[in-house]
């Protein structure tokens, strides 16, 4: 059984993060609540986690994790390992690269890691573009 829920996660996020990072986290939680096929909350004791999953032909596939410590884990390498269509992975990595101005190819981004949201998101437009990227990925995985 999950220890965390939306309320405890948001409370911890607000306690641990700056107002700007908490605002980004709230946008992502609201987006996940409305668009995830399976939204799950963590069971850890130190901090809360939220996982956004999409239902595909291969089953539920996680697309990103969010931590109440103000970190996000974009699960691009996990998607690569699932045998999903290469076009979906390529499209997602290109959009992430253009949004965050960094390389997400397997050489430069070999492992999915939690990164501070304030290192990735500097403007509200970047948050919106990330959300559109995830929406596009979900749409293509369901085709």
- Report pLDDT digits (tens) over 28-70: 999 999 999 999 999 988 899 999 999 998 899 999 999 999 9
Mean pLDDT across the chain, nearest whole number?
A: 94
Structural domain count of the chain = 1
Residue 113: pLDDT over 70: yes
And the tokens for 103? 């390389």
**Is residue 82 included in any domain, yes or no?**
yes
**Is residue 1 included in any domain, yes or no?**
no
Q: Grade residue 99 by pLDDT with cuts at 50, 70 and 90.
A: very high
**Is residue 109 included in any domain, yes or no?**
yes
**Is residue 17 included in any domain, yes or no?**
yes
What pLDDT score does 2 carry? 63
Distance CA 61, CA 50 (A): 14
- The residue whose two tokens read 């130190």 is 46
Q: Rounded to two decimals, what is the model's pTM?
A: 0.93
Residues of the domain holding 74: 6-141
Which of 60, 136, 59 lies closest to 96 in space, CA to CA?
A: 136
CB 44 within 8 A of CB 68: no
- The residue whose two tokens read 């999950």 is 2
Decide: residue 142, CB within 10 A, 0-12 exposed, 13-18 middle, 19+ buried.
Answer: exposed
Instruction: Name 57's Cβ contacts closer than 8 Å, sequence gap at least 6.
Output: none
């Amino acid at each position: 059984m999950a220890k965390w829920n939306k309320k405890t996660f948001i409370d911890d996020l607000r306690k641990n993060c700056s107002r700007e990072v908490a605002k980004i986290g709230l946008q992502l939680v609201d987006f996940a609540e409305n668009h995830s096929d399976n939204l799950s909350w963590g069971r850890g004791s130190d901090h809360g986690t939220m996982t956004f999953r999409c239902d595909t032909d291969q089953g539920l596939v996680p697309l990103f994790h969010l931590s109440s410590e103000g970190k996000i884990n974009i699960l691009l390498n996990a998607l690569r390992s699932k045998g999903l269509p290469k076009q979906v992975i390529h499209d997602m990595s290109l959009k992430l690269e253009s949004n965050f101005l960094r390389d997400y190819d397997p050489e430069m981004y070999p492992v999915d890691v939690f990164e501070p949201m304030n290192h990735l998101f500097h403007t509200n437009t970047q948050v919106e573009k990330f959300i559109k990227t995830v929406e596009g990925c979900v749409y293509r995985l369901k085709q």
